[in-house]
Structure formats: structure tokens, C-alpha cells
Structure 1
Amino acid sequence: MNVHGLLGTAGAGATGHADSARPAVRLADAALRRDELWAAATAVADEVAGAAVVAVHGSASLRTVVGIVGCLLAGVPVVPVPADAGPRERAHILADSRAELWLGDPPANGDRLDEGSRALTVVPIDPARRSDTSYPEPDPSTTAMIMYTSGTTGAPKGVVISRRAIASCLDGLANAWAWTADDVLVHGLPLFHVHGLVLGVLGALRVGSPLVHTGRPRPAEYATAAERHGGSLFFGVPTVWSRMCDEPAAAASLGQARLLVSGSAPLPVPVAERLRGLTGLVPVERYGMTESLITVAVRSDGERRPGWVGLSLPGVETRLRPLPDASDTPAATSPAADKDVPWDGESVGELQVRGGSLFDGYLGLAEVTAASWTPDGWFRTGDAAVIDPAGWHRIVGRTSVDLIKSGGYRIGAGEVEAALLAHPTIVEAAVVGVPDPDLGQRIVAYVVGDGTTPVDPATVADFVATQLSVHKRPREVRVVEDLPRNAMGKVQKKLLTRS
């Protein structure tokens, strides 16, 4: 894709669409044309130019979009801070990133904004301001963003992402999804994660397609965006699509869309099938993480395989390497570590990737960064996966929490979860391995019922045994009212195991 700069130009989208009257970004009742967005963002660039790092309050607002674009125009690394971050998380992010400025509104609860022992300067963002200052396009290798991980295994780590990596990812997705300036992108995802921010804002700006952000990803708002703004491309997480299925009238409005996209967590097969019946569409899935951005995706012109996340994007390579053996010998030092796991659609291995969208490292963590890469230059994702002979990928789960070693077998939690969701009384499921003196680990399933029929744990466990190998049958089925999830809809399994 021939694009001038990371985000294209002020006057037209990446494919040359120059309808200057249409909004480039719409959020709630506020909207900016592309030239207005650039002028407003340039006013922010004037404020932050020369700063080493700037933090942006990642609220679902037009101010956030203007602030982040302003930093990118000025060539200043930007740290999107989760809008719902608590004082401890926010303080860690600001201190670790050494942010010099805070863009946007200060925390509503009056918490201090500190970087170490120094209070940060708060710079308000006014989308009505304008500037015509000209900034040169920074070198593609410079840092665009420092995005923080969820911190499930310790303090959140700063992931350093270059402008080149973002461009590579977005161009690969534009190719896979036939995404052009003629599309109208609709989503209501948070503006501090890869899905909602990098794909959902920077992707739209790079491609040149208008963005309609619904504030929150509610079925009614998605339906309104489809009808009122001609939405053709919709982003959501599985929870969004599940809730859409519960509102058939809203779902019917999406029947005019060109493409639905699901990510950030596996899409349950029953939800995909219900959407097909309501809209005539099955969402395409994709796979990635903060460190790699998106590396694998289902193509818009390809088949749909619910539960499979698709093929490697252009410029991305993937491979499977052996998982730790039963004695917990690290995979990197195992005698078979340098041998590929076969692409047979059944054999599970650790997914490793390389390509242009990979991060530059963890901020200030040289040893952790080095341990994340193999000696021959592949990034260890920490995800267990299978790949079939045609190159289709299925993610089994995280090797740290989703690979269960029970009775000498390696069992992917994701496979068991998919079987559970096929049961007619279950709408949500999460599977974990808990210590067991006999088996090493035993499979425990947490399930949420549909609210109409009581869930019988024994019947559910027997059902799984009819769908999968008997050794994959849950030893316990625990019925709960809901599953703990983060802002992107991912189940927080460590919270389950503490209960």
C-alpha cells in the first residue's frame, strides 16, 4: 500500500479517497473531517513536540483520538493509559514509561499524576483548536507507542512498538480484509488496546475509511451505526457478538455489512452459528498480541472455520516448536527444541512468529526481552496452537495457564471450552488445571448457564467425554453466575483459581 506517512495525509485517505465533506472520525455526537482532525492534532503536536514520552488518557472520546494523532504527527512516543486504570496501575505506567506530560483530563477521583516523585504537567486536549504547523514524517524505525500488557503475570510491561511495525500490521490486515477507503468502520472498543486503538483508529486513518466509534460496543449502537452511517466493517470481541445474538432486531441490521471481525478472545462456535442465522455473516477471526500486533487472520474472501484464526498475514512467518515435556524441562533446552512440530491440525506446539509487525522490546527489561526471542530470531508467543497442512491456525491457549498436564496427557483448555459451549444449557465456559496429587493436574470447568435450564455438572462432564477423548473430560464442573473478564472480554483465569 502506497501511503505517505504512518497515517496517510490530511487531505485524503491512503487509497486516494478525497471526499472532504465526510467525517473521518465520529464519536457520539462529535465528528471531525480529516482536515479538521489533522489541524486539531497538529495543535496538540505543537504542545508536545520535543517531549521524550507523553501519556494519553485513553477515554472513549474524540479528545483521545486527537491527542494520539497529535503525538504521532510530532514523532513523540505515546503511552495510552487505560481509562479504567486504578491509582496503582496508573502510577506504575507513568513511572515506568517516564512520561513527561499527561494529555487529556486528569483522573476524576482527584488522584495525583506522578512520575516518580515529580507531578506531571496536564495538557488539556481541545478538538476545536487548529494549527497549520508542518511536521516532517519521522523515521519508520522510531517508537510510535509504548503499550502496557495486562499484568497477569506481574507488573504490566511496556511494549515498545515502532511506526514501521504498526504500518506493517495494518497493511497486512487491509490486504486480508480488502479494507479500503470505501468502507465505514464501526466499533465501540476501548481506545487503549491494540484492537480498538491500533486497528480501530490508526487502521481506519491509514486506510482512509471513516470511523464511527459507538462509545460502547452495544447492539443498539451498532445497529444505529449500520443504518444511519452505512457501517460496512464491524469490530467486536466475543462478548459483543454474543450480546448481539440476544437482540435479533439489532443483529438483523448488520446483514448489510460487508465484514464482521471478532478478536481478543476465541469466538465460541455456537455464537458464530447464531450470527450466521441472524445476519447471514460469520465473523472473521484474527490472532495477535501486544508484542506482535496482528499476525494471523481469516481473509474476507476465504472460508469461515469457527474456532480457527486463519492464515499468516503477508510478511509474517509462523512455526510450532515443542512444548515443555512432562518433567517441566524448558522447551528451549529440550533435546527436541530445534525441531518443528508438524502442521497436521492435531499436534500442539508453542506458536512462534517473526515478521515486520513485531515489537522492539520491553521497556527497560533487556533480560526479559532477550528471553522472549529464540536464538534464531523468532518471538515466543507463549501460546499453544495447532496448524493444519493448509496453514490454518487454531489457538489452544496460553502455555502458562491453558496447557493442562493431566495423567500424562497434554490438554488444551480451549478445546475443552469449545466442547462445553456446544452444550445447549451453557453460554460461557472457562477451563483450568488445578493441582492434583494423583493426576498432576485435574481439569476443572467453570460454566455459566443460560438462565432457563439448571446445569447438571455430571451431565455436562459426560457430554464433553462424548465430544472429545475421555481423558479430556472435566473432573469438576463448577456453575457460576459470571466469569471474571478484563476490558477486552478475556477471561481472567487466575482470578478463578483463587476462588
Structure 2
Amino acid sequence: MRIAEGHHPITVDSTTLTRSDLVAAAGAVSGALDSISRVAVLATPTMETVLAVAGALRAGVEVVPVPSDAGSAELAHILADAQPQAWLGAAPADSHGRPVLPVDVDARSAAVEVDVPAEQVAFVLYTSGTTGAPKGVLLSHGAIIAGLDALAEAWAWTSHDVLAHGLPLFHVHGLILGVLGPLRTGSGLIHTGKPTPEAYARASASGATMFFGVPTVWSRIAAAPEQAAALRSARLLVSGSAGLPVPVFERILQLTGHEVAERYGMSETLITVATRADGVRRAGWVGVPVNGVETRLRDEAGAEVPHDGESIGRLEVRGDTLFSGYLNRPEATSETRTSDGWFRTGDVAVIDADGLHRIVGRESVDLIKSGGYRVGAGEIEASLLGHPAVLEVAVVGVPDEDLGQRIVAFVVPATGVSGSDELADKLTAYVGDELSAHKRPRAIVFTDALPRNEMGKVQKKRLTR
């Protein structure tokens, strides 16, 4: 993937390079990769990581991003599965016998970029492993370019922009969108190191026009009025990786004057659905398919589900941004495809008459069939998060002889709030008033914390054991 020309520099945690220097530094990395076909990159939020990734891609070398906080078991699994020939840049204390190729931020070279076929693999990107050991997702150069170009069109993202974020550099959001996006569009980049309200306010003062964050980031900004007000000068605020609670959406609008644009995607598909810069923005709704992508909803029998904004169906997608398969797992790859070539996302969603999508959650744990109704856990969670007594929540369906499944909400109370039968009754009534009677939880279970994996995702199956 070529690095586009632009006037704005690239800054990663206080290290800044002009675009010409970045190209030359990436060229020096590329020139050191003779006879190498796949490298592991310890994805710390540093300029070394950016240069390692950019240099490897320029040389046609596959990149295996490794989370900087990966545990020993996760690290061993990734290296055994992907078999990278070397570490590029920094390496963990245990390099598992692989050589370490240094990345020098000050090195410069005019190494010629390799002409890489669109179908060639660019990344082996490991999933979070919510249903077993992480799988290596094979993403091609062509898929990445298609995805970034589609988002540039949807968000009117140009070389005049400066993107700011502090997201990790080992996954789609922070690395592909947040680093390769600016390199592809020619926009500037300010990676803040950590995604704090203070860091985002400083980035705004430095000219940032676009900001990426996950709901946790936006929640913290919503709780910091002075820093949030600094984002009024931005052009676009984007949230992803999970649904943005309505109260956070409304508070950010109040403090910044901006409605946050949400989007949806996954490692296997990149970003397939996004709220357009010139489109309607509604909390909890992730927009419309980007250029080159189609979506559809199907029920358990494979029949079409109406686009009425209420009916829930399995979300399937197809298009130019899809992955090439799972590394070493042909059977798992084939299981994700329908007979007519669509990708089964494993998510359930609703689509309204205007084509706007709302993700209900994972089919395996978030689609609840209760009393003849199909209920999305995500909708109930979003409702409960709007109550001031709720800090975190996870909604699940548990077996019930009468209803098939009954709706149970596991709630972490807000600071200073104690769980009680009285509060449980209030929360149940709150959901019934906001949504429908059949969507009310049949039980509220108060807990100190929700079980999460290393990526911070709630492990709902542990709640139903």
C-alpha cells in the first residue's frame, strides 16, 4: 500500500516525522527484509511500530501484529500458528528463538516499493478468541485498500484532515483504520499514546479534525466537560467496537456540538457499515453499507427478514473488504460462507426502511428467544446503561421451561449505588417503559464485575454456567 502525499506530519506518542521522512524511514525497513516473507510486530503505540508495519507492507512482507500486553499462552499460540520468521522492531523478553530485526526511526533509504498483487496477504490478524483459541485472519492488500477507500468516501476523509486517537495498534480500529487510513488518504495523524480526555483536547489544539474512540473513551470524555468542549472545532467524531450508549451520545452532543458517527465491522470484514459524514446519526445505529459492500438479513430458515427497523435477522455481508480465510483452518473458513457466497458475520441486526443498521449482538449469546419473541440483548443493555444507577451490564437468555429463555440482566451498579430488590424493580420497569413489556428482564443480578477476556470483551457464556 503506497503512502500518499500530504502536508501534515505523522505523530505517534510525541515522535513526529514528516511524510517524506516517514517514507524514507519505511524504505530503510523494507530494504532490510530480503528473503523474509512474514514478520511479527510487537504492536506498541510507537513510531517504531508504524515504520515496521509500513516498511513490511511496502516490501510485500506479511505482518503479524502481536498485542503489546499479550500473555505467555496467547503469545506462544500466535507464534506457533503463524510461524513468523523474525520480529521486526521491538520484541518481548521471550522471543521464542526468533531473530529480532531492529527498526531505526532515524534511518533513511530510497528503497523502491514492491508492486504487490491485490490478492497477496498483508496481515495475519488474530481474533480476540471469544469462542476458543484466536484464529489468524488473512487480510489482503486489496481488501485493505478497498476498505480504506470506502471509508474515505463515506467520511469525506482527505489530505486536509488530521486524525487523532489513542487506540491500540494491533487490531482493525487502531492499526488499519487509525494508521493505514492516514497513510492512504494523505491526512495527518496524532496518536496520543493513551486515549485520555486531556490528550484528545491537546490534539484538538494541535489541529486534529477527526477523532476515533471506543465507547469507553467517549464516556470518559463525556465526564470531562472542559476537555470535551475542546473538540468543538473537530469535523467528525467516530465511535466503534461496541454500541455507544444513548446518554453518552447525548452528552457528547451537548458538550461538543457533534453527533458521534458510529460504524460496524470485524476482523474478517473490516468496516462494512458506517454512518456517513453527510448522513443521519442515531445513537446505537451504525449507518449504511460502504461502497463495494452489500448486506442482508436472514432468519434461521434462510428466508429474507424485512427491513422494518424491528425484525431481527442474521447479518450476512459480501464485498471487496472480506478476508481471504483463516490461517491453517480451511474448515473454519468454509463454515463462514453461505452456499451463494455471503459471509456469515455471526451477528444479529435490524435494518430500517432507509437502510440504517443496528447491531443487536452475537447470535450465539445475544439473540434471546423468549415467549415467542426474538429479543436482542444489545437493545436491553443500551436501555439499562441509560439509567444513572447502572455502570455496566450484560444481558443473557437462560433456559426456561415456560418461556424457552428468560431474560436476565447482570448489572454492575454505579459508584455509591447498592444493589437491592427495590433497584431491581426500578430497572425492570425502566426497560419496560423504554422498550416493550416482553423485553423486560425477568431477573436482575447485581455483581461487582463482569467476566472479560484479554481484549476486554464480556464473556457471556461464563455468566450462564
Do these two structures clear the TM 0.5 threshold for a shared fold by scoring above it?
A: yes
Q: Are positions 1:410 and 2:374 aligned together?
A: yes
Contact 2:24 2:108 in 1 (8 A): yes
Partner SS, residue 364 of structure 2: coil
For residues 452 and 178 of structure 2, the distance between their equivalents in structure 1, rounded to whole angstroms, comes to 21
- RMSD over equivalenced CA pairs, Å: 1.6
Partner of 1:330: none
Deviates more, 1:437-446 or 1:130-139: 437-446
Superimposed CA distance per residue, residues 332-368 of structure 1 (whole angstroms, 9 cap, x where no aligned partner): xx3xx2x311111111110000110000101111111
For residues 76 and 149 of structure 1, the distance between their equivalents in structure 2, rounded to whole angstroms, comes to 20
Opposite residue 157 of structure 2, the aligned amino acid is: W
Partner of 2:49: 64
* Deviation of the 1:98 alpha carbon: 1.4
After superposition, residues 81-480 of structure 1 pair within 5 angstroms as: 81-107=66-92, 110=93, 112-114=94-96, 119-227=97-205, 229-323=206-300, 334=301, 337=302, 339-455=303-419, 456-480=423-447
Contact 1:190 1:487 in 2 (8 A): no
Contact 2:128 2:455 in 1 (8 A): no
Contact 1:421 1:428 in 2 (8 A): yes
Opposite residue 433 of structure 1, the aligned amino acid is: G
Contact 1:187 1:234 in 2 (8 A): yes
Opposite residue 245 of structure 2, the aligned amino acid is: P
Gaps of 5+ in 1: 1-5, 324-333
For residues 181 and 217 of structure 2, the distance between their equivalents in structure 1, rounded to whole angstroms, comes to 20
* Deviation of the 1:103 alpha carbon: 1.5
For residues 2 and 398 of structure 2, the distance between their equivalents in structure 1, rounded to whole angstroms, comes to 47
Q: Aligned pair in 2 of structure 1 residues 495, 50: CA closer, same or farther (>3 Å)?
A: farther
For residues 484 and 129 of structure 1, the distance between their equivalents in structure 2, rounded to whole angstroms, comes to 45
For residues 486 and 253 of structure 1, the distance between their equivalents in structure 2, rounded to whole angstroms, comes to 34
Q: Identity of counterpart residues, as a percentage?
A: 56
Opposite residue 72 of structure 1, the aligned amino acid is: L
For residues 146 and 136 of structure 1, the distance between their equivalents in structure 2, rounded to whole angstroms, comes to 19
* Deviation of the 1:170 alpha carbon: 0.5
Contact 2:159 2:188 in 1 (8 A): yes
Gaps of 5+ in 2: none
For residues 219 and 486 of structure 1, the distance between their equivalents in structure 2, rounded to whole angstroms, comes to 25
Partner SS, residue 318 of structure 1: strand
Q: Aligned pair in 2 of structure 1 residues 440, 357: CA closer, same or farther (>3 Å)?
A: same
* Deviation of the 1:486 alpha carbon: 5.5
Partner SS, residue 271 of structure 1: helix
Q: Are positions 1:491 and 2:458 aligned together?
A: yes
* Deviation of the 1:273 alpha carbon: 0.3
Contact 1:353 1:379 in 2 (8 A): yes
> TM-score, normalization: structure 1?
0.89
* Deviation of the 1:301 alpha carbon: 1.1
Q: Are positions 1:52 and 2:16 aligned together?
A: no
Contact 1:295 1:357 in 2 (8 A): yes
Contact 2:13 2:45 in 1 (8 A): no
Contact 1:321 1:349 in 2 (8 A): yes
* Deviation of the 1:395 alpha carbon: 0.5
Partner of 2:13: 28
Q: Aligned pair in 2 of structure 1 residues 163, 497: CA closer, same or farther (>3 Å)?
A: same
For residues 251 and 488 of structure 1, the distance between their equivalents in structure 2, rounded to whole angstroms, comes to 26
* Deviation of the 1:483 alpha carbon: 3.6
Contact 1:445 1:476 in 2 (8 A): yes
Partner SS, residue 36 of structure 1: helix
* Deviation of the 1:220 alpha carbon: 0.7
* Deviation of the 1:89 alpha carbon: 0.7
* Deviation of the 1:132 alpha carbon: 1.7
* Deviation of the 1:473 alpha carbon: 1.4
Contact 2:347 2:362 in 1 (8 A): yes
* Deviation of the 1:126 alpha carbon: 1.7
Partner SS, residue 315 of structure 2: strand
Opposite residue 382 of structure 1, the aligned amino acid is: G
For residues 267 and 105 of structure 1, the distance between their equivalents in structure 2, rounded to whole angstroms, comes to 34
Deviates more, 1:48-57 or 1:345-354: 48-57
For residues 20 and 317 of structure 2, the distance between their equivalents in structure 1, rounded to whole angstroms, comes to 38
For residues 49 and 313 of structure 1, the distance between their equivalents in structure 2, rounded to whole angstroms, comes to 37
* Deviation of the 1:494 alpha carbon: 3.5
* Deviation of the 1:438 alpha carbon: 4.1
For residues 312 and 77 of structure 2, the distance between their equivalents in structure 1, rounded to whole angstroms, comes to 36
For residues 389 and 397 of structure 1, the distance between their equivalents in structure 2, rounded to whole angstroms, comes to 20
* Deviation of the 1:469 alpha carbon: 2.4
Partner SS, residue 31 of structure 2: helix
Partner SS, residue 48 of structure 1: coil
For residues 400 and 203 of structure 1, the distance between their equivalents in structure 2, rounded to whole angstroms, comes to 32
Contact 1:160 1:361 in 2 (8 A): yes
Opposite residue 474 of structure 1, the aligned amino acid is: P
* Deviation of the 1:495 alpha carbon: 4.4
For residues 298 and 458 of structure 1, the distance between their equivalents in structure 2, rounded to whole angstroms, comes to 36
Contact 1:49 1:76 in 2 (8 A): no
Q: Aligned pair in 2 of structure 1 residues 241, 488: CA closer, same or farther (>3 Å)?
A: farther
* Deviation of the 1:437 alpha carbon: 4.3
